Homo-oligomer: A and B are copies of this chain.
Amino acid sequence: MATKEHSWKHRIRQIIYQTDTPAGYLFDVLLILSILINSLLIILESVEGIRMVHGQKMINLQYIFVAIFTIEYGLRVYTVENRRAYVMSFFGIIDFLAILPFYLAFVMPVARLFPVLRTLRLLRLFSVFKMVRYVDEAGVLLKALRASRPKIIIFLSTILLIIVIMGALMYTIEGPENGFVDIPESMYWAVVTVSTVGYGDISPQTELGKLLASVLMITGYGIIAVPTGIITSEMSRVSREAEKQENLPLARCPQCGQGKHMKEAMYCYACGVNFHKKNF
């Protein structure tokens, strides 16, 4: 019986954690659909007009989704090889947090009222990104982003420094009477400005403030070139590398030592030796 249980466990694990079997693929598609529909439900539930009319139906549907995600979470915990690792992993915590609010409402009835908790269920959306692992292209993007991390950290630190200095300067120049009530508020204005968002809820009123803001705007406008340059040159490098490797089956001709042969080369273009005849 232990073997039977083991084999059941193994089969469920295959379906849940793998995508290369038809059942596993179907499971993934259905799960993503459930997550998307559930998320749509949560979004629509927040609209007063819809909640008024379809409120009860939506709550009932929520029960179904909570049941689905609870069963899924239970099966994941039950069948996974390294239980502790899954439960403490990023996706394990998200899977748990997404069903938590529902059960919390039984223990402490007030919990139902906290919209913060209900929104937690949206976290399931992150699970969709588990699928991204399988996508090759995402790998290239992540690789480029990871390789440029040190440069991006330096860039963000510079931006942060600009925001603090500019916030403090504008606070002293414009002051609370013009909406720059304290340095954190002025820093918020600096973020709104340097990122070129520009809500207009706070904007400089004095001449000096406008001059300084202009400098900040042009800076923010131009400085975007830096992260773009970082990512682009990194992505170009990655794509250039991939190109090179496609072109080079043999690093060097074994006879004359000439390198850089194309993939489809049969003869060395420098000495004319036939790569396929000789035993190298």
In the complex, A191 has a CB within 8 A of chain B: yes
Cross-chain contact A262 with B264 (CB below 8 angstroms): no
A48 at the interface (CB under 8 A from B): yes
Chain B residue at smallest Cβ distance from A185: B210
- With A197-B217, A200-B201 as given contacts, are A239 and B228 in contact (CB-CB < 8 Å)? no
Alpha-carbon gap, A47 to B269, bound state (A):
68
Are A137 and B119 closer than 8 Å at their CB atoms?
no
Per the CB 8 Å criterion, the residue count for chain A at the interface is: 107
Q: Mark A84-124, 1 if CB is under 8 A from B, else 0.
A: 00000000000000000000000000000001100100110
Q: Check if B42 sits within 8 Å of A168, measured CB to CB.
A: yes
Chain B contacts for A229, CB-based, 8 A:
144, 228, 231-232, 234-235
A145 to B226, CA, bound (A): 9
- Of the A-B pairs whose beta carbons lie under 8 Å apart in the complex, a sample of 13, sorted by A's number, is A47-B183, A132-B154, A141-B151, A156-B218, A156-B222, A191-B218, A195-B196, A195-B217, A220-B221, A252-B264, A261-B269, A262-B269, A267-B272
Minimal Cβ-Cβ distance residue in B for A197? B198
- Measured CA separation A230–B217 after assembly (Å): 19
Please name all residues of chain B whose beta carbon is closer than 8 Å to the beta carbon of A16 when the two chains form the complex: none
In the bound complex, residues from chain B placing their C-beta under 8 Å from that of A199 are 198-200, 203
A146 sits at the interface (CB 8 A): no
Selected contact of A233 from candidates B128, B207, B239, CB within 8 Å: B239
